[in-house]
């Protein structure tokens, strides 16, 4: 079982860029897919996107124009950037190991979009 930890600002202004990093420990990133999932307060889970350790990635069509996911295996990290955020992007953001299934999850980090 690997451990994942999200980090980044908890408050982002509207129209700015949300940036989060997930640090992986307890194992190698090689051979796995790595995912970002979010959960608005009181709502369900929404898949954001995934990246393979090789760098191949894909994202939710509804977010694709605003999402960038990258990986740095030398640092055991992968990252999420979401541009032009609005209040609708306020959510707990989770990083996870795997695509379907996602076996190991971070504890999640709340990102609030507000001026």
Partner 1 sequence: QSALTQPASVSGSPGQSITIPCTGTSSDVGGHNYVSWYQQHPGKAPKLLINEVSNRPSGVSNRFSGSRSGNTASLTISGLQAEDEAHYYCNSYTSSVTVVFGGGTKLTVL
Give me the residues that bind partner 1 (CB under 8 A), please: 35, 37, 44-47, 50, 58-62, 94, 99-103, 105-108
What whole-number distance in Å separates Cα of residue 26 and Cα of residue 63? 31
Q: Are 57 and 63 in contact (CB under 8 A)?
A: no
At its nearest, how many Å lie between partner 1 and the CB of residue 64?
10
Measure the CA angle with vertex 75, ends 24 and 100; round to 5°.
40
Cβ distance to partner 1 smaller for residue 7 or 16: 7
Cβ distance to partner 1 smaller for residue 18 or 47: 47
At its nearest, how many Å lie between partner 1 and the CB of residue 11?
20
Helix (H, G, I), strand (E, B) or coil at 65: helix
């Amino acid at each position: 079982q690997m451990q994942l930890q999200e980090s980044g600002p908890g408050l982002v202004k509207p129209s700015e860029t949300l940036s989060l990093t997930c640090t992986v420990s307890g194992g190698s990133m090689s051979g796995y897919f790595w995912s970002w999932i979010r959960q608005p307060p009181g709502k369900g889970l929404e898949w954001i996107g995934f990246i393979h350790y090789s760098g191949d990635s894909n994202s939710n069509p509804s977010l694709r124009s605003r999402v960038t996911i990258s990986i740095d295996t030398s640092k055991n990290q992968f990252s999420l950037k979401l541009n032009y955020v609005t209040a609708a992007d306020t959510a707990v953001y989770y990083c996870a190991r795997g695509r379907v299934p996602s076996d190991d999850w971070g504890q999640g980090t709340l990102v609030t979009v507000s001026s």
